[in-house]
Amino acid sequence: MALEPNEPLTPAGRLFIQPATEQIINCALGIDRPVDTETVTSILSNSLLTKHPRFTSLLITDKHGRERWKKVNLDITRHVILVPDPVIDNVDHELAVNDYLANLTVSCPLNTDKPLWEIHILSVHNCVVMRFHHALGDGVSLLSLMLTMCRKVSDGEKMPMIEPTSVRSQRRRSVWEVLKMLWLTLVYMLEFCMRCLWLKDKETVVRGGAGVEMWPRKLATAKFRLEDMKTVKSAVVNSTINDVLFGVISSGLSRYLENHSTKPPKEGLQITGAAMVNLRKSSGLQEITELMKKNSGSRWGNKFGMMLLPIYYHGSGSDPLQYLKRAKIMIDNKKLSLEAFLSYKIGYFVMRCLGAKFASLLNYRIICNTSFTISNLVGPKEEFMIAGVPVTYIRATSSSLAHAVTMHMVSYAGKADMQILVAKDIIPNPEILAKYFEEALLEMKEAALAAKFPQNLG
C-alpha cells in the first residue's frame, strides 16, 4: 500500500483527531518474563510495523488547514519507553498495570512530532503497553498488524491467526424479512438521529455526560472463560458470544443499579450502550498481506459503524437466561437492520460535506446521551510469543469518553478479559462491577447446565 506524498487523512481519521472525539488505543500485553528496551527495539526494527506507511509518517496540517500524513525516517528509539520501576514491596501487578493504563486514558496524548504510536515497557510488572492513535487504524487492523511480529507457542515458525469474521448471509430473503429489515432500519435510524439531537437516557448511577471524559479514571478487569460463555450460548438456539456478553452486561448493570442507586430503579428502565461494529468482510493476517500491496483493492484504516444497544433494568430474582434471551432478540433485530452500515455511510457523508468538527459534535452528543460503550475483539485461539517470550494476556482500552463506563473485551487462548474503564467520581469501585459481570456469567452457566441436565438438580 503506497503512501502518496502528504496524503490526506481519511474521514474517519479526521474524526479521531478532533478534541471531543480523539481516541488512542492502549493495548496491554502480559508476558511471562521481563524484557528490556534493546529486545523491543530489535523486534520492531525487523517488523512489518516499521515498513507500514502509517507508522512511519507524521501528522501535519497544510496551509489550507487540511490534515495530512508526511513520510519521515523513523527513529524507533523515540517510540520505546522504559517505565521506571516503582519502589513498592508486594505490589499487585494487575492493579498497578490497570492504574497505569487508567492514567494514560485521560492525560497522556501522543506527541505529534513523531509518528503516532509508542511502546511502554513495564518490566517489573511483566507487561508491555502498545499505544496507537485511532487515526492509524481500527482494532482489527492494528491487532492483525501486531500479530505479524508474533509466532505460535506450539509452532515457532507459524504466525498466530484470527478466525475470519462471519459475513452476512447471501441467501435470498423473503418478502417478510425485507419488510422487517426496512422497518427496523427506519426505526433505529430515527432513534439514532434523535440521540444526536435531544433524546437521552435517564440519570442513573452509571451515566456520564458532557465533560466527564476529562474526569479521573479507574480501571478494573472482568475475567471470563470462553468455555463458560460457550456453555451459556448453547442454552439458546443460534445465540452467539456477543449475545452472551450483552446478557452478562445487562445482568451485571441491573445488579449494580439495584445495589448502588439511592432509590430503587423502575422495572424496565432503559440504559443505552454504543457499540462499534466491524464492517470488514474478513479479518486476520491474510488481510494485512492484502492491505500492504500497492494496488490492493482493500483499504487500511477505520471501517466500522455504530449500533445503539438498549438494555433494561430487571430486579433480582429474574431467570439468568432471560438476560441472554432478551439480548439475542434485540441484537438479532439490530443485525437484520442496516443501522451499522448506514451509520458508517452517514458519518462518511457528514464528514465529507460538513466537516470533521460537525461530525465530531454529532458523535460527542450520541456519547453524552447514552450510558456506556462496549466492544468485543476476537483474538487468537492459540497462545503466541514475541521474540520467544510467551504472551499471557491481551487487554485493551481506549481514551476516556463522556461515558462514565467503557468496556472493551478481547478474547485470547480460551480466555476473555474485559477492561472496565470508569469515571471514578461516578463509579468509585469498578472492581464491584467486574465482580457482578463475572457472577452473572457463572449464574447463567449454572442455569444453562440445569436446563440441559435437569436430573442433576438437587
Strand arrangement of the beta sheet that strand 7-8 belongs to: 7-8, 67-71, 57-61
Question: How confident is the model over 23-79, as pLDDT tens digits?
Answer: 999 999 999 988 888 988 988 888 888 888 889 999 988 877 788 889 999 999 999
Mean predicted confidence (pLDDT) in 109-137:
92
pLDDT of residue 1: 44
Q: Is the pLDDT of residue 279 over 70?
A: yes
List of residues 6+ apart from 358 with CB closer than 8 A: 350
pLDDT of residue 348: 84
pLDDT of residue 296: 44
Q: Which three cell numbers stand for residue 137?
A: 487504524
Other Cβ atoms less than 10 A from the Cβ of 271: the count is 24
Q: Is the pLDDT of residue 303 over 90?
A: no
8 A C-beta contact, residue 16 and residue 136:
no
- Residue 51: φ, ψ to 5°: -105, -10
Dist CA 140 CA 406 (whole Å): 18
Task: Report the run of H or E that residue 23 belongs to, with start and end.
Answer: none
Task: Report the run of H or E that residue 418 belongs to, with start and end.
Answer: strand 415-423
Task: Report the run of H or E that residue 411 belongs to, with start and end.
Answer: strand 405-412
SS3 state at 253? helix
Active site annotation includes 134: yes
Question: How confident is the model over 65-110, as pLDDT tens digits?
Answer: 788 889 999 999 999 999 987 766 677 889 999 999 999 999 788 9
Domains present along the chain, CATH in parentheses: 7-164+173-452 (3.30.559.30)
What mean pLDDT value characterizes the chain?
87
Q: Which three cell numbers stand for residue 103?
A: 492514567
Q: Which three cell numbers stand for residue 206?
A: 452509571
pLDDT of residue 297: 41
Catalytic residue, candidates 133, 134, 314, 403:
134
Task: Report the run of H or E that residue 301 belongs to, with start and end.
Answer: none
Dist CA 206 CA 371 (whole Å): 7
Q: Which three cell numbers stand for residue 158?
A: 507459524
Dist CA 443 CA 227 (whole Å): 14
pLDDT of residue 9: 81
pLDDT of residue 165: 57
Dist CA 192 CA 177 (whole Å): 22
> What's the DSSP call for residue 159?
-
pLDDT of residue 12: 78
